[in-house]
Amino acid sequence: MVLQFTWHDALASQPIEALSDEWKEEAPKQLQVLTAAYDGVDLEGPPHITEVARSIVATAHRLFVGKPLFEMEAKQEEAAIRKDGKEDTYMFPSDVELLNAEVSIYFRHFADFLYMAKKELSKEE
């Protein structure tokens, strides 16, 4: 089952912080497949689609790094808010909120990519 489960399926089916150890072990291979697929688009696709493809890969890599990256970014965001003296105006984002926002970004870029690719392919027919 783990081998049949793609990167995309795993992110869609459960909160990323709840992903299984088996998925985390398999994730580097899945990420490699995803990167290779979008690299092909980067080489052969129109520039406006390759930009979206690159953003999907970049977001996937950030998600692969996982919670430590988002913990660091949450601390940096909190420090920046405190430095600007705006802690009474802004709430500090948690690492989980930043991580889940990144998952949303991944799916938004993926939806954009599908739309743009279908539109491009229908022009060629």
pLDDT at 118: 87
- Under the banding of pLDDT at 50, 70 and 90, the label for residue 34 is confident
Average pLDDT taken over every residue of the chain: 79
pLDDT at 23: 63
- Average pLDDT of the segment spanning 109-116: 88
pLDDT at 63: 83
pLDDT at 75: 93
Q: Which pair of tokens denotes residue 56?
A: 């999907």
> Of 12-26, 61-75, 78-92, 95-109, where does mean pLDDT reach its minimum?
12-26
Q: How many degrees, rounded to 5, is the angle at CA 74 between CA 79 and CA 61?
A: 135
Phi-psi label, residue 92: left if phi above 0, alpha if psi -120 to 50, beta otherwise: beta
The three-state secondary structure class of 87 is coil
Q: Which pair of tokens denotes residue 57?
A: 């890969």
